[in-house]
Structure 1
Amino acid sequence: MSLQEDLAAVQRSLDNLVQSVERVEQQVGGGSLEIRRVRTDAGHLRESVALLNEAAPALRRAETRPDLVTIPDDPYNSALWTDSDDEGLGARDRHAP
């Protein structure tokens, strides 16, 4: 699926969730803390999906594969590492305690 199709599926699922929460709220009553929390969370999800839909064009551009960089198999020049210590072995001119 494409990003747009996935976002549309999320939106449909979220709409079904909101409808279900409304039905439960009618059965239970809207005064309880739990149902208000669920209603608020569903509203936050709606806002988040709306923001994601707005950002979708930028996300689609980010989906494109970046240019690959070829790394040669040749060994590195050892002169690059003359000022570093061997990890775990300590410095070359010192002894372990």
Structure 2
Amino acid sequence: MSVHDDLIAVQRCLDDLNRSVGRLEKQLGRGGLEMRRVRTDAEHLRESVALLRAVAASPAAQQRPELVTISDTPYDPALWTDSDDEGLGARDRRAP
């Protein structure tokens, strides 16, 4: 399944959720704190999916990030001459 198909499926589920929340509002009323929270959460989901669709539609989303190869060779010890051994204190002092 492609990302586009998955986003369409999520959109259908959100549409079903909004219809169900609407039916609950008719039965329970809109004024209660719980109902307002459910409605707000459903709206936030809708907004989040819209943002996700916009990102998925951009050309940059189609590209994979470039992989960076990290060498297995040890670092040059000269890089660490001006630093302390972490957790052991300075070279001229005793460790705690």
TM bin (shorter chain): 0.7 to 0.9
> Cα distance 1:51–1:93, how it changes in 2: closer, same or farther (>3 A)?
same
Matches within 5 A, 1:1-97: 1-58=1-58, 61-62=60-61, 64-96=63-95
The unaligned stretches of length 5 or more in structure 2 are none
Please tell me the root mean square deviation across aligned C-alpha atoms, in Å. Answer: 2.3
TM score, norm. by length of structure 2? 0.75
Deviation of residue 7 (structure 1)? 1.4
Name which structure has the greater RCO, CA cutoff 8 Å, separation 6+. 1
The structure-2 alpha-carbon separation of the partners of 1:80 and 1:32, relative to structure 1 and needing over 3 Å to count, comes to: closer
- 1:55 to 1:68, Cα distance in 2 relative to 1, 3 A: closer
What whole-Å deviation, never above 9, does each CA across 1:8-61 have from its counterpart, x for those lacking one?
A: 111111100011111122222334332233223222322222222222223x63
**Could you say if the C-alpha distance between residues 63 and 87 of structure 1 is closer, same or farther in structure 2, counting changes exceeding 3 Å?**
farther
Q: TM-score, normalised by structure 1?
A: 0.74
8 Å contact kept, 2:17–2:42 = yes
1:82 Cα deviation from its structure 2 partner: 0.9
Q: Report the Cα distance in structure 1 between the residues aligned to 2:71 and 2:81, rounded to whole angstroms.
A: 21
Report % sequence identity. Answer: 68
Instruction: Give unmatched runs, 5+ long, in structure 1.
Output: none
